[in-house]
Copies of this chain bind each other. A is one copy, B any other.
Amino acid sequence: MTNPSQAQTQSQAQTQSQAQSESQSTKVRYGIIGVGNMGSGHAELLRSGRIEGAELAAVCDGSAERREWARQKWSGVPVFETSADMLDSGLVDAVLIACPHYDHPSEAIQAFERGVHVLVEKPAGVYVKQVREMNEAAARSGKKFGIVYNQRMNPLYRKLRELISSGELGEIRRTNWIITNWYRPQAYYDSGTWRATWAGEGGGVLINQCPHQLDLWQWTIGMMPTRIRAFCQEGKHRDIEVENDVTAYAEYANGATGVFITSTADAPGTNRFEVTGDRGKIVIEDGKMTFWRLRVPESQFNAENEIPFASPECWKIEVPHQGESPEHAGIIRNFTDAILRGAELVAPGEEGILGLSISNAIHLSSWTDDWATLPLDEELHYAELKKRIDASTYAKKNVRAASRPADLSGTF
């Protein structure tokens, strides 16, 4: 990818090896680590031609069965057993990490050490301690580092962030997110031995389903909580050992409060994000944004008003539809542009630690039945997580079929 002009002189009809040669100078050559559900989806996207400047250069997977499947599916794409071999092949400029959560940081660190750009799937990792180490490796490498927070591409949340950062909503006072529409039946949990186990995933709905919302909870408002008091219920209406029902209360430095409620057993669930500020309230629900906007800030009205039962004038605004979200394609496109043209990353990898810190704090608060302050006590969280992994006697009774092979070891 050193000289884009070279590519224009070459023919479209060429062998795979010629294509590889070309791409070294014109395109970002992606290698995918782990071709399970997410990884194979990314591979298809890269093969579709929808991401300008990007191509699928190689894949790797620890499962022989999965490698054979990949060879047949993506004819001509080199398939490796280990990510180290793939990196050492010189075929890739960037890796897209889609292996089990626990291995995200170590895979990223290995790639950074070899001077390869990294786009990591969510969550950044399972515990903050390892993710901080990943961030440090990224900084040392000088390479591009992104995270697949595709919900940051969603125009609704981008609009919310813009309305807040521009001051339209005023100082934030309350953030209530009821995100209980992560319905997962027992059949889902039975589809892989690693699913919803401390050793295999390191958590439940917080680690697997909610990373996007936990990121957006802080990204849209531009504030991290200062402390959290949370209540996790494990195996709620499901035969699993990790949490799948969570209520978390958060406090922010400016006195604002928030609530985050999630579940995998509610049917139907709710996805309603309400943010209240000094200038009104914004609610995102059912894919729509409504902004109840005060003509004057509440604090100003309150200071000037002399009538006991008066309230500030408020306009209900239906914010125009913001268009479709480019989702994963948007994230990979942005990451590719960052490498090729220095575009600003929408989801810098280093920011993966923010949502994960909230996630870890929720776990820690519930485990210790106490407040968890932020920045997180990483050592205490790690020790508590380890305790649960070591103490686990959980064995799935009825694993029906692997919807996604255990492509890389899910063990801790």
Contacts and interface: CB of A to CB of B under 8 A. Distances in A.
Interface stretch (A12-20, A98-106, A305-313, A338-346): A305-313
A247 B257 contact: yes
Interface of A: 173-174, 176, 178, 180, 183-188, 190-191, 229, 231, 233, 236-238, 245, 247, 249, 251, 255, 257, 259, 261, 263, 265-270, 274, 276, 280-281, 283, 292, 294, 298-299, 301-303, 305-312, 314, 400, 403
11 contacts: A173-B265, A174-B180, A180-B276, A184-B308, A229-B229, A237-B302, A245-B257, A247-B259, A265-B298, A267-B311, A269-B276
Nearest to A245: B257
A115 B164 CA distance: 61
A176 B173 contact: no
A263 B281 CA distance: 14
B174 A266 contact: yes
Contact of A301 (B185, B269, B276, B312): B185
A188 B301 CA distance: 13
Grouping DSSP codes into helix (H, G, I), strand (E, B) and loop, the A interface class, with mixed when no group exceeds half, is mixed
A49 B216 CA distance: 57
Contacts of A283: 270
Contacts of A311: 183, 185, 267-268
A235 to B, nearest CB: 10
5 nearest A-B pairs in the assembled complex, by CB-CB distance: A188-B308, A191-B308, A183-B311, A267-B298, A268-B314
A92 to B, nearest CB: 31
Contacts of A180: 174, 276
A397 to B, nearest CB: 13
A302 B301 CA distance: 51
A365 B301 CA distance: 33
Given A237-B298, A268-B292, A263 B187 contact: no
Given A229-B231, A231-B229, A237-B298, A176 B267 contact: no
A412 B180 CA distance: 44
A274 B268 contact: no
A399 to B, nearest CB: 11
A294 B185 CA distance: 14
Contacts of A188: 308-309
Nearest to A231: B249
Nearest to A401: B308
A159 B229 CA distance: 34
A309 B184 CA distance: 6
Nearest to A192: B308
A99 B174 CA distance: 34
Given A231-B251, A269-B276, 14 more contacts: A174-B180, A174-B261, A178-B274, A185-B308, A185-B311, A187-B308, A229-B229, A233-B255, A247-B257, A259-B261, A265-B302, A268-B281, A268-B311, A308-B403
